[in-house]
Structure 1
Amino acid sequence: MPSVRHYLDMGHLRRLDEYKYSAIDKSFLSRFVLRHWWNWAATLMPPWLAPNAVTLIGFAAVLVNFACVALVCPTLDGSESAWLWASCAAGLFFYQTMDVIDGKQARATGTSSPMGELFDHGCDALNTPLSALIQVSALGLGKSPLSLLCIVIACLSFFASTWEEYQTGTLYLGYVNGPVEGILIAVGILGWTAVKGSSWWSLPVEDALGSVFFLPSSWRMNRIIVIFLSFAFLALHLPPCLYNVYVLLSPPSRRALTTRPSQSSSGRLNATPPLEAFGQLLPIVSFCALSGLWVLSPGSAIRSSGRTAELVVVVALLYGQMTSKVILAQLTKGIFPHSWALVLPLALPAVLVNLPLLHLPILLRPRLEAWYLHALLLLSLAAYAISAHAILSAFCGYLGIRALHIPFPNAACAGYVALAGGQGAGRAHQSPAIGAPTADDDLEHERLPPRRAEAEAYPPQAIPPSPLRPGASGGRAWLDPAHALRVLREGAHGGEASEGGRKRSNTSERERGVGMAEGRRVARVE
């Protein structure tokens, strides 16, 4: 089972240069309705704001919503406060918008990088269980086992899409998918709760909607929502994921889009056998099953003591690490991380609280269980922070970028054009002699991409002290103005960067050169 640092050596990081983003979005809402909203919202972003900062701002809204729900209704029984659910609906829709336009901001500023997908999906992984708990509270499910089912469905759905993208190399979003229709349904539930209150979802169908011939009149509304979500996952989402992977990997039509080296080989190998690929889902299934065995056990005091929100934070941190490692393995073309070590923290309490079912004395009493949960929260938070810092530091050092800071001015500013390499932009004007854009003589050095030899030792001296702080750039090697002028003119004719500089990345949304015409074009959902 490889650790995070297994994917951060120089051999894996060099594969970032081969990375291309591929996505298919068949949603009618995103293609014909929401894209106009997203395009307009993208124009509101200032050119100095980093794409990852756009993602982080959207995720911050979800964190605020989660904190409010945990404080107002810690038992998840719901609330009649209209402001709470209205703010949650607005925050979730805001998150969806920012999650989409971060890619548009990256293309506009010429600062796309493979780290963008990792950062984006990493926030999505954390958002999945947190937003699911907000929905559970809005529906007033409380201590019901259905509350855990909602969270498990959300986690399995996102992980299945991530696993499918790892195997096929393409993020597939169907006609009805979670990031678009799923979030809009959640926003609708929260908005309706703001109007009617959480108690409305506990009403029988007959009292809430009247006589509906295809719904049992005695069923409660929140139960129907959970059944609908379960059906959507089991019938509409999971089968296409499994089918796409099976068709791609099964003989004789085995034609994997990407090849992943094994632990003992650095060359290309055949695609993973289908049975082995399906076995990669076993850790996440065990993760969800052990969570249920712990929380739903008669010997557990998690639900009765109102610590469900704390447990969901622990699950989010462990689940975030598990999913982010899969995304990291995809970007670096590494072996699939099974992450059994992230399952073990849930296995211990799941076994200890269920010992009475085997006629054995209980070893995890309520007070000890509470202390274990607190300790697990701190350890999970520390492990996630260390892992995230290691990944961001390695990516920033190799790609010569910062996580939350971009060059300014850049390609989004009037009078500037993108330079080859995607590391910034240079000032350009219309030459009256030849009618083509040329660089100004006073081109500032800090807008230029660094030149670095391929044989330079890793980690390079130009790694910033922290990927999250726009501090001094250390030993960055600046280009001379003559070289900058040559790079800009070559970019205007669609040429490649000079031989002295290594291509920094081949990114998910990169459109290099003047007019965004240079470099490799890849599929991207607008």
Structure 2
Amino acid sequence: MFNYKYLSKDHLEGFDNYKYMAIDTSPLSVYVMHPFWNKVVELVPRWVAPNLLTFLGFLLTVLDFVLLSYYDYSYTAASARNETIVELSQRPEVIPQTLWYFLAVFLFLAYTLDGIDGKQARRTQTSGPLGELFDHGLDSYSVFFIPACLYSIFGCMDYSVKPIRMYYIMWNILLNFYLSHWEKYNTGVLFLPWGYDFSMWASTMFFLWTGHAGTGWYKRHLAGGYTLADGFECLVYATGVFTNLPVALYNTYQSYKLRTGKMRSFTEALRPLWSLLSVFLVCSIWVHYSQRLPEYDPRMLFLLIGTLFSNLACRLIVSQMSNQRCDAVNWLLYPLVLCAAVGLITPQHELTAFYGVTVLAVLAHIHYGACVVQQMCAHFRINCFHIKKRDD
């Protein structure tokens, strides 16, 4: 079942010659988090595989999403209220207050595990391409789960942003992640964005403050009638495309100018962007012309675009690590187009098509990830979650 060979011989030979290169200039990361992680990793037994730490961190992020799906599947809990209470800030909470503290702890633990897995690999002398691919591949999925959880703080009704706006906020965050790896595809160097560490700290603080003050605290206006949710939306865009994109373009330009990068042609350099653009356009056309989406089930819509994105990002990461040409079109685009057409032409079958393509995307992505990991384990003669005993 999981023996399908997604990686070609050229991919595997590319992984054999791969060397990790990254630059991290974030003050929070360099001066605060790395010293902290250096202490924490000493508490981890040496027999614990680095990939196990990575996977546990990812599962904690998924757990946050699952817990909020149970209490607030439709993103309306933050807007639920007792009609006899005038002040929204004093309405009864639907999501248990203590849950927000657990969400904060789980997220910070996930952040910490993601920070120490590479250190554990170097500490146990098990560093390799599989660890980086496994780490970044799961990160490409987590990048959707975290904002999908934060949306429950504001909800989709009063004093918040509508699901269609959250849909574009989500795509902005996903694009941010993709740009970093597109940049590495062309430069050969992963320039770690400052926004990652700050966003993880901010998200943790959001959860902690919500546990203390409740979701009602966010039901207020800023200057000019704009709400806190509007301010959050502007902040995401300001720290996303308007900061990360210029830096990525500048670093890529410098790699061509100094001839330190891959020196691909202009069309080849842009090639990884077409698969992302095509999926974004099809999803957006479907959402805008649909009679139900995204209001009917925004959580499932976010899962769909998050899964599609993660599959695109994983394939890009595989291409740049193995120094192979990236696919211009992802095969999941074809069932996506088909289901979008069915949903728009025959609205009575739209939900069936929508849930069908979501299930297909999730299963296909899990199959891709499991097969690639298994294939690389066989190639490098290692175990993903177990460290072989060394003779010395």
Contact 1:294 1:346 in 2 (8 A): no
Aligned to 1:255: 259
Q: Per the alignment, in what secondary structure is the counterpart of residue 240 of structure 2?
A: helix
Determine the structure 2 residue equivalent to 1:501.
none
Cα displacement (A) at 1:190: 2.1
Task: Select which of 326, 337, 345 maps to 1:347.
Answer: 337
Counterpart in 1 of 2:360?
Answer: 379
Tell me how far 1:318 sits from its aligned partner: 1.8
Instruction: Name the SS of the counterpart of 2:292 in structure 1.
Output: coil
Match of 1:208 in 2: none
Aligned to 2:50: 51
Matched residues in 2 for 1:190 and 1:294: separation?
32
1:199 aligns with: 216
Q: How much does 1:159 deviate?
A: 0.6
Spell out the pairing of 1:76-87 with structure 2 (5 A cutoff): 76-79=75-78, 80=93, 81-87=96-102
From 161, 168, 179, give the equivalent of 2:196. 179
> Aligned letter for 1:102?
D
1:282 aligns with 2:274: yes
Distance in 2, matches of 1:349 and 1:17, equals 39
Deviations 1:216-255 (A, max 9, x none): 3411001111011101112211111122113323xxx362
Q: Write the distance in 2 (CA, Å) between the matches of 1:146 and 1:198.
A: 19
TM-score, normalised with respect to structure 2: 0.87
Q: How far 1:154 moved relative to its partner?
A: 1.3
8 Å contact from structure 1 (residues 93, 183) kept in 2: yes
Cα distance 1:44–1:151, how it changes in 2: closer, same or farther (>3 A)? same
| Structure-2 residue corresponding to 1:151 | 170
- Unaligned 5+ runs, structure 2: 79-92
Change beyond 3 A, Cα 1:243–1:315? same
Distance in structure 1 (CA, Å) of the matches to 2:130 and 2:272? 24
Within 1, Cα distance between the matches of 2:247 and 2:203?
22
What is the aligned partner in structure 2 of residue 117 from structure 1? 132
In the TM superposition, residue 147 of structure 1 has moved relative to its aligned partner by: 1.4
Query: Structure 1 92/339 Cα, relative in aligned 2: closer, same or farther at 3 Å?
Result: farther
Paired residues in the alignment total: 369
Superposed CA offset, 1:395-438 (max 9, x none):
11111101111124xxxxxxxxxxxxxxx351xxxxxxxxxxxx
Residue 27 of structure 2: aligned partner: 28
- Which one has a bigger Cα radius of gyration? 1
- CA distance 1:28–1:352, shift in 2 (3 Å): same
Who is 1:300 aligned against? 292
Over residues 340-394 of structure 1, what are the superposed CA-to-partner deviations in whole Å (9 max), with x where a residue is unaligned? Answer: 323334334445555xxxxxxx4132xx222223322332232123212321122
SS of match in other structure, 2:382: coil
User: Is structure 2 residue 377 aligned with structure 1 residue 396?
Assistant: yes
Deviation of 1:5 after TM superposition, in Å, equals: 4.5
Does the 8 Å contact 1:140/1:201 carry over to 2? no
Question: In the alignment, is the contact (CA less than 8 A) between 1:167 and 1:256 conserved in 2?
Answer: no
Secondary structure (helix, strand or coil) at the match of 1:186 reads: helix
How do residues 322-337 of structure 1 correspond to structure 2 at under 5 angstroms? 322-337=312-327
Seen in structure 2, the aligned counterparts of structure 1 residues 325 and 167 have a Cα distance that, compared at 3 Å, is: same
Q: 2-side partners of 1:167 and 1:309: how far apart?
A: 34
Aligned counterparts of 1:88 and 1:345: Cα–Cα separation in 2:
35
Between the aligned partners of 2:202 and 2:138, the Cα distance in structure 1 is 20
SS of the residue aligned with 1:341?
coil
Superposition deviation, residue 302 in structure 1: 4.4
Conserved in 1, the CA contact under 8 Å of 2:163 and 2:294?
Answer: no
**2:354 alignment partner AA:** L
Alpha-carbon distance between aligned partners in 1 of 2:294 and 2:238, rounded to the nearest angstrom: 28
Cα distance, 1:326 vs. partner? Answer: 0.8
Alpha-carbon separation, structure 1, partners of 2:352 and 2:282: 19
> Against the structure 1 CA distance between its residues 328 and 26, is the aligned structure 2 distance closer, same or farther, given a 3 Å change threshold?
same
Letter in structure 1 aligned against 2:351:
A
Conserved in 1, the CA contact under 8 Å of 2:156 and 2:163?
Answer: yes
Rounded Cα–Cα distance in structure 2 between residues aligned with 1:187 and 1:334 = 37
The separation in 2 between residues aligned to 1:301 and 1:149, in whole angstroms, is 13
With the length of structure 1 as denominator, give the TM-score of the two structures.
0.66
2:287 & 2:278 partners in 1: Cα distance? 14
Percent identical residues: 27
1:139 partnered with 2:122: no
Residues 17, 298 of structure 1: CA spacing in aligned structure 2 closer, same or farther, 3 A cutoff?
closer
In the aligned structure 1, how far is the partner of 2:144 from the partner of 2:224?
31
- CA deviations on 1:29-55 (whole Å, 9 max, x unpaired) are 111112222112111212111110000
Alignment partners' CA distance in 2, 1:77 and 1:332 = 44
Q: Deviations over 1:433-465 (max 9, x none)?
A: xxxxxxxxxxxxxxxxxxxxxxxxxxxxxxxxx
Q: 2:105 aligns with which of 90, 94, 114?
A: 90
**Which of the pair is proportionally richer in helix?**
2
Do 2:54 and 2:114's aligned partners in 1 also have CA atoms closer than 8 Å? yes
Partners of 2:289 and 2:236 in 1: CA distance: 24
Q: Are positions 1:319 and 2:309 aligned together?
A: yes
Q: Which amino acid aligns with 1:277?
A: A
Mapping of residues 451-466 of structure 1, within 5 Å: none
Q: Deviations over 1:267-314 (max 9, x none)?
A: xxxx2123542353232133233323333445124423xx22222222
Query: Counterparts of 1:264-283 in structure 2 under 5 Å?
Result: 271-283=263-275
What RMSD over aligned residues (CA atoms) do the two structures have, in Å? Answer: 2.1
SS at match of 1:340: coil
Contact kept? 2:271, 2:326, Cα under 8 Å: no
